[in-house]
Amino acid sequence: MALIKTIQGKSPQLDKAHWIAENATIVGDVHMEDGVTVWYNAVIRGDVNSVQLGKNVNVQDGVVIHCTYEKSKTWVGENVSIGHNAIVHGCHIASNVLIGMGAIIMDHAVINSNTIIAAGSVVLENSQLEPNAIYAGTPVRKVKTLSQDQFEQEIERIASNYRMYADWQEEPR
């Protein structure tokens, strides 16, 4: 069973229809809406500030979500995929976003809707990324505008697949 722990009197608030891997860790002031999935070895720490995950967010294997004490909360919109081993720290991610594997999103960064962050990219602190774009690099830069076809083939497909994968797991939560 996943480690779900109260910190400083604040307990994770998990709405219905989640699937959480048995070795995931979720602590403190974390709120998850319906359809969130948290995969193997993911860590979501709301111990020093709050973490909000909207509907149908998938937090893939090895992801770390955290924030900064008294400075930055982490807020993630709906239909967001956070790829394997990504770090999401004290930032704002709008709905319909794909964060690639191993990407790092730093404090006070804002990722707007319909955006893809390429694998291994770094979004620096205080960055403001425009919507409907693909970003890559260290630090990230816009590499192209996101077409409707790319949106459907990447962002929507991956988010939908993770809901299906959760259905395959033995004990939905």
Decide if pLDDT at 118 tops 70.
Answer: yes
Decide if pLDDT at 173 tops 70.
Answer: no
Judging by DSSP bridges, how do beta strands 64-66 and 87-89 pair with one another? parallel
Domain residue limits at 85: 3-168
Task: Please state the domain count of the chain.
Answer: 1
In a domain, 173, yes or no: no
- Count of H-run helices and E-run strands, the chain: 2, 20
Torsion region of 69: left, alpha or beta (phi above 0 gives left; psi -120 to 50 gives alpha): beta
Tell me the mean pLDDT in the region 8-13.
Answer: 95
In a domain, 38, yes or no: yes
Confidence of residue 17 (pLDDT cuts 50, 70, 90): low
Decide if pLDDT at 170 tops 90.
Answer: no
Instruction: For the chain, give the mean pLDDT.
Output: 94
Q: List the CATH number of the domain containing 157.
A: 2.160.10.10
Pairwise CA distance, residues 68 & 90, whole Å: 6
Report phi then psi at 88, rounded to 5.
Answer: -120, 115
